[in-house]
Amino acid sequence: MPKNSITMTSNRGASEQNPNAGPQSTIAGALPMPILIVGAGGELIYVNPAAEQFFDMGSGLLLGQKLAKLLPFGSPLLQLIRQVRERNASVAERNVDLSTPRLGEHVADVTISPAPDHEGSVIVLLQERGLAQRLDRQMLHRGAARSMSGMAAVLAHEIKNPLAGIRGAAQLLEESVGEDDRTLAILICNETDRIRALIDRMEAFGDPMAPMRKPVNIHEVLGRVRQVAETSFARNIRIVENFDPSLPPVLGDRDHLIQAFMNIVRNASDAAPADGGEIFLATGYRPGVRVSNPVVGQSGERVSLPLEVIVRDNGSGIPPDLLPYIFDPFVTAKASGAGLGLALVAKIVGDHGGVIECESQPRRTLFRVLLPVAGQMGTDNDVITEANNA
């Protein structure tokens, strides 16, 4: 490593930790997009805090490590770096696939330039595109949930009453027919009960009661969810927590949030393997994501969604062809599922002014929920969704 590269290895508070640190590292550390400097031998000689988040590793582990070891074999990013070194000129590429088995799906616009003060080194700037695209999909999921609201109200009224008549008639027949026909009467009763249960679940979408939002401790919500899970459907699953105790309260309805995260954790429990199943719960403060959301703020206001909740399981994953549609009603990978649980979650999160996204591959399915903080509102009137890394 060149001697002058030492000024680039401090990420936070560089000027205080190292008297030789220049303003460049301070500026890079404050930027919200991942920035790397890759040495002539392919090793990382600088990473900013956004890059630490991107790789889910601290600078102590990243610095000195070969970038090739963090990426899949033949990654297009490595090819672009070789191209920059050969031409000694900057290159830019859109929609570069940076997905890894450990970190999941990542697509980014990449800009790579020769590092002027580091012979043979290059500066890599990543601008993730996935978040903005997923936020756009979230708006579609919210629209689907709203459509379900009207449909659920109609179905509840038009189907439940006839079902009650059918079941009553079947019960009367059961008392007056022979043994063979009695089995058919019982089948009619059971099937009408099953349809009624499905309608009951759909009625949740037609609930006219808006959430009663007030400051809620998200860790109390997750604690209740974990308590119920460990005593019922997830008794044989290991649940691991990594909470940020300094988080401010979320602006939300406690009961509705419990219902939403209960559905997510139940899905994670169903997906986790019987032997060695694990569910990971985490919270964190992730500033930089702001959306136009009249649910929480005034019409046209941008609302910040800094509170992040992650639920991750080590199950077999969601089939890739279903992944873009899992928050739509009646879409499910379960043989016995109705496909309404995650649609209800999307509705509840949307009613709170938040967004939910999912990444999935074998042994790693992750749900990320972003929520507003109590008392924090957007201030400008632009209605365009924005994210700090999109």
Per residue in 176-188, pLDDT (tens digit) is 888 878 888 888 8
Q: Model-level pTM?
A: 0.55
pLDDT at 7: 39
Q: How far apart are CA 241 and CA 310, in angstroms?
A: 10
Q: Is 100 helix (H, G, I), strand (E, B) or coil?
A: strand
pLDDT at 301: 59
Q: Give, in order, the Cα–Cα distances in Å from 170 to each of 183, 199, 239.
A: 11, 20, 45
pLDDT at 219: 96
Does residue 24 or residue 50 have the better pLDDT? 50
Which residue's structure tokens are 């009619």?
188
Reported as a single tens digit per residue, the pLDDT across 57-114 is 888 889 999 998 888 887 889 989 998 998 888 888 877 878 777 767 777 888 898 8
Of the pLDDT bands very low, low, confident and very high (cuts 50, 70, 90), residue 6 is very low
Q: How far apart are CA 123 and CA 113, in angstroms?
A: 5
143 contact partners, CB below 8 Å, separation of at least 6:
none
Does residue 20 or residue 329 have the better pLDDT? 329
CA 335: distance to chain centroid?
A: 24
Using only the alpha carbons of the chain, give its radius of gyration. 26
pLDDT at 23: 46
Q: How far apart are CA 222 and CA 9, in angstroms?
A: 37
Q: Is the pLDDT of residue 211 over 70?
A: no
Q: Is the pLDDT of residue 2 over 60?
A: no
Question: Where in the chain does DSSP place strands (E)?
Answer: 35-38, 44-47, 91-97, 107-114, 122-128, 214-216, 238-242, 250-252, 278-285, 289-292, 302-304, 307-313, 355-361, 364-371, 386-387
Q: How far apart are CA 338 and CA 270, in angstroms?
A: 14
At 252, list the tokens: 């939300």
255 contact partners, CB below 8 Å, separation of at least 6:
none
- The whole-number average pLDDT for the span 6-11 is 39
pLDDT at 118: 72
2-6, 42-46, 198-202, 214-218 — which is least confidently predicted?
Answer: 2-6
CB count, 10 Å around CB of 178?
7
Q: How far apart are CA 51 and CA 389, in angstroms?
A: 11
CA 362: distance to chain centroid?
A: 16
Go through the domains of the chain in sequence order and give each one's CATH number: 3-128 (3.30.450.20), 132-206 (1.10.287.130), 214-387 (3.30.565.10)
76-80, 244-248, 285-289, 358-362 — which is least confidently predicted?
Answer: 285-289
125-129, 233-237, 337-341 — which is least confidently predicted?
Answer: 337-341
The DSSP symbol for 281 reads E
Reported as a single tens digit per residue, the pLDDT across 223-268 is 999 999 998 899 999 999 999 999 999 988 998 899 899 999 999 9
Work out whether the CA dihedral 378, 380, 382, 385 comes out positive or negative.
Answer: negative
Q: How far apart are CA 186 and CA 125, in angstroms?
A: 66
97-101, 305-309, 375-379, 384-388 — which is least confidently predicted?
Answer: 384-388
pLDDT at 134: 54
Given a contact cutoff of 8 angstroms between Cβ atoms, the answer to whether 347 and 328 are in contact is no
